[in-house]
Amino acid sequence: MGKDQSGTIIAVSAAAVVGIFAVAVLAPVLAKKNHPVNSKIKKKEAKVVDFVNCDDMENLGTFKDGKLVMCRCWKSTSFPYCDGSHTAHNQETNDNVGPLILKKTAKK
């Protein structure tokens, strides 16, 4: 083995050690980075809370087939109501979020 080859081997080995060290140090730091679920809804508020009065649900015009469908993925353009945005989100991220569905029941 010549001097050129041994120098190359040393340089590649040193680069590999530095790379492995960098990944070992940076991976935990990057893993702890904040990844909020809500990326766009009412971001200026400390906590997003929406109320739907039970008496008003029938008048909201959001009941379809006896159901009121509420968003839980934070992607809906009609938030707090579901517009089906979770379907694309689930395909892109391999997630499994879905809506909250309130069913209208007959009064007893």
Active site residues: 47
Q: For 1-108, where are the alpha helices, taking DSSP H only? A: 3-31, 85-93
Please report the sign of the dihedral spanned by the C-alpha atoms of residue 97, residue 98, residue 102, residue 103: negative
Structure-block tokens of residue 92:
């892109």
CA distances from 65 to 68, 80, 90, 92 (A): 9, 18, 24, 29
